[in-house]
Structure 1
Amino acid sequence: MNEIDMNETARVRRLLGEPPPPSAEASARALARLEEAMAPGGRHVRPSRAGRRRFGRPLQLGAGLVAAGAAAAVAIVATGQGSPGSPPGPPPGSVDLNKQAVLVAADRAAEQPTGNYWSAERISGQAYVVRAKTGTYAIFGAHSETFHWAGARKGMGEAYYDRDLPARPQTPRDEALWRRAGSPSSIRVWSGDAYHTYTTKATKWRVNGPNVGVDPKGGGSFYGLGSGGASLGDLQNLPTDPAELAGILSPAEMKRAMNPKASGGKKLKEGVIPRLQMRRTSTLLSAPVSSKVRSGLIKALAAQPGIRAIGRVTDPLGRRGVALATPDWAITETGEFGTPKAQQGTYRSRNVIVFDERTGALLALEDQLTEPGGPYAEMKPGFVISYEADRSPRWTDAKPKPPAELPF
């Protein structure tokens, strides 16, 4: 790093020490929720309980952020990445302060002391547009929360829990329109290939894992880089050099993650690779990797072609952070599977990953609208299509329990 870059980095560190108030745009997004289905080729698939993701469990990276339902739920056509209206990057030779902020966050990645049990909690939601007679508003439905704990060594036990969270309007404006519509406690929306009803009530935690309960023989295995689990040692002994970690984000690795039996010569559709790279990074940052590996992963992702730093944002739980984004791409929903006319059309979206700017911790992964159209024709750029938000992944010495209180 040259002297100019070092000076700029020092400037960013000072800025991060006393962050300015959020912009009006960031504040408007504070209640917006994140991430959508990103199955290969841009297929938009319906969330289902069976497909909901669990921490610590194997995951095929072709799955959507909000878990997938039937593969043929909706016909979607991906038409490439990059939008003519996308903001340009910094001029050649200049310092990208947004990227520097991400790198500073990586340097501040929290030291995670190893304990007896690792636990992780994740909240996810899918956006739906409700076209009421009194005004169109957006909600988050298919709202769910997962909690997983595992002992550091085999035989210490593990368990998986999930519960449904209340459907809720996305923003204060949406809430006002929901109230104008009579504050319905049950909301019927088109989801995938059929109408579904989401309610404003939560459910109790369900034990949902090995042997349909707490597995006393489990533990010692966490989500790794293959189709099976990895030991704590495997994860914490990953390389720390960002250049080496970039190897696990390579196009070849992303392709194998989607389909381990795929031949080496077939190319993925344009725009898929950055989304899969972001997904893999998110998955590993939710696992008990060392702080140096955590820092290296953030830096490796920030260096990938097509990944761009976008500055400070507010995550769906109201936490401020610095973010990276993929290029956007077009998705077209057709009427092939009975999709209503109002849901049909083309829109563009991008994935955004958010880090705590003071600790480097992963906060959220979202899918964000960049060009309105189709089911989101009435929404504005920045609208959150779906999301996953992490809450307090950590080591403890006592056996963890899922939180009793609701997150909102």
Structure 2
Amino acid sequence: MSRTTDLLATMAAVRPDRLDPPTDPGRLERVRARAMSEPEPDRAPARVLGRRVRYGGAIVAAAALVAGLIVMARPSGPDTGPPSARRALLVAATTLQEADTATGRYWTADLSSVTTATYLGGTAAGPPPGTAKPLYRYTSTCDARLWAARSGRDPSWLVVDAVTDRRLSGADERAWRRAGAPRPDSCEIHGMSVGLRSAPPAALALRRSMRTTSQDEPTYPTAASVPITPDQIAALPTDPTALKATLDGFWLNATTPSAKPKAGRTVPLDVTFQQITDLLVGAPAPPAVQAALYRVLARLPIDRSRGTVTDRLGRHGVAFWTATGAMETRLIIDLRTGHPLAVESRLAGELDGYTLIRRQGWTDTGPTLPAHRL
């Protein structure tokens, strides 16, 4: 099979037989033409970013960040394997941009996040010291809905529907009971740690641009922990080169001390990967901007799964990731629609946490809010 072989035929070879191919031949031609006409991406050096730890009330939610990136060698012989990460992402970008043109008053997303957490006891005086011994470990699941208003005249909301926890072992279960069987007092939803002053279901009004360090009032949305307003997201360029430069500027302006010049500083590739996943999963990015995010991602030295993978809901997609050592973060995309399905974090090969995107879309109907407020 030569490298000029029909891209969609190559993709079809690695898809499960039960998935029907698209039925619009003209659309397939447009996808092929756009995907194959993209310029070759520049390769960038690998960088490493360590693991972050968040504190929410009395728990420490372990949030694995993307670390260094592996440059995959391009085959010099016949292209007999599955499509490259770059080509698959370009197809997803074109599919999403052509199929999804809806707009509305609110951008909504139904999300479920699962994190592995450690309970360290009371933390009234602040985060515990690094020498504190964990009392028990557990997994915490938070189901929530985002309602991001397009206009600044409308409030944005995070509605927490449910929070549950499960101890990891019999010893953890016994330690949990000795500690008084405390219930979860925070919700970790794709990087946002929300303190629970009320039992779910409960709603939290999201600030559009105010920077805050309070776990009870997280700034939303963010890109790689840097606040970014919905107005800034709507204005993001759709040219991949310009979009990458804009994302770089957000991070450099937020992380460079004012006394030090930004000239010569570069953004680690793992930061760019996190910016892209944050904007794809939990931010009101228009379809054209989402497609441009895929095209930026296609220029990074990333890897992809050989064929389809299955997320925790049993949905089939293709996984893309960057990895270093024992840490790995995967973005799973449905190439039929271009929409993201999940983001998974793995530690030493074991699934450490994940966010499931159950639904995304625009609507003119406002949220029905529960009586309790966070």
Deviation at 1:281, TM superposition (A): 0.7
SS at match of 1:108: helix
The CA distance in 1 between the partners of 2:58 and 2:298, in whole Å, is: 33
For the pair 1:107 / 2:94, whether they are aligned, the reply is yes
The CA deviation at 1:326 is: 0.8
> CA 1:278–1:94 in structure 2 vs 1: closer, same or farther (change >3 Å)?
farther
Q: Distance between the aligned counterparts of 1:5 and 1:51, measured in 2?
A: 53
Unaligned stretches of 5+ in structure 1?
Answer: 21-39, 54-63, 68-77, 131-137, 190-194, 212-220, 330-347, 373-380, 404-408
Deviation at 1:325, TM superposition (A): 0.7
Return the match for 2:338 from 346, 357, 360: 360
Alpha carbons 1:327, 1:350 under 8 Å: kept: yes
Please give the secondary structure, in 2, of the residue aligned with 1:45.
strand
What is aligned with 1:386? 353
Contact persistence 1:128–1:139 (CA under 8 A)? yes
Q: Which residue of 2 aligns with 1:309?
A: 304
Question: What 5-or-longer segments of structure 2 have no aligned partner?
Answer: 20-47, 120-135, 188-198, 208-218
SS in structure 2 of the partner of residue 384 of structure 1: strand
Q: Aligned partners of 1:5 and 1:362: how far apart in 2?
A: 28
Residues 255 and 150 (structure 1 numbering): CA distance in 2 closer, same or farther, change over 3 Å? closer
Distance change (3 Å), C-alpha of 1:265 and 1:246: closer
Q: How do 1:96-175 residues align onto structure 2 when only pairs under 5 Å count?
A: 97-99=83-85, 100-109=87-96, 110-127=99-116, 141-168=139-166
C-alpha distance 397-113 of structure 1, shift in aligned 2 (>3 A): same
Q: Does structure 2 conserve the Cα–Cα contact (< 8 Å) formed by 1:168 and 1:200?
A: no
1:44–1:296 Cα change, 3 Å: closer
Distance 1:185 1:151, change over 3 A: farther
- Cα distance between partner residues in 2 of 1:6 and 1:304: 23
Aligned CA distance change for structure 1 residues 276 and 93 (closer, same or farther; 3 Å): farther
CA apart distance, 1:113: 0.7
Size of the alignment, in residue pairs? 294
Write the distance in 1 (CA, Å) between the matches of 2:244 and 2:53: 29
Q: Is the 8 A contact 1:66 1:126 kept in 2?
A: no
Q: Aligned partners of 2:200, 2:78: CA distance in 1, in Å? A: 52
User: RMSD over aligned Cα, in angstroms?
Assistant: 4.6
In 2: Cα distance, 1:255 partner to 1:125 partner: 30
1:298 aligns with 2:302: no
1:284 counterpart = 2:279: yes
After superposition, the Cα gap between the structure-2 partners of 1:45 and 1:198, relative to the gap in structure 1 and judged at 3 Å, is farther
Give the SS at the match of 2:164.
coil
CA contact (8 A) 2:328 2:345 kept: yes
Structure 2 counterpart of 1:144, which letter? Answer: C
Opposite residue 349 of structure 1, the aligned amino acid is: M
Return the alpha-carbon distance in structure 2 between the equivalents of residues 229 and 144 of structure 1. Answer: 24
Distance 1:228 1:295, change over 3 A: closer
Aligned to 2:323: 327
Identity %: 24
Specify the code of the residue in structure 2 equivalent to 1:125: V
Residues 1:230 and 2:230 are matched in the alignment: yes
With normalisation by structure 2, the TM-score equals: 0.61
CA distance, structure 1, for counterparts of residue 257 and residue 18 of structure 2: 44
- Is the CA contact 1:119–1:400 (under 8 Å) kept in the aligned structure 2? no
Number of the residue aligned with 2:244: 246
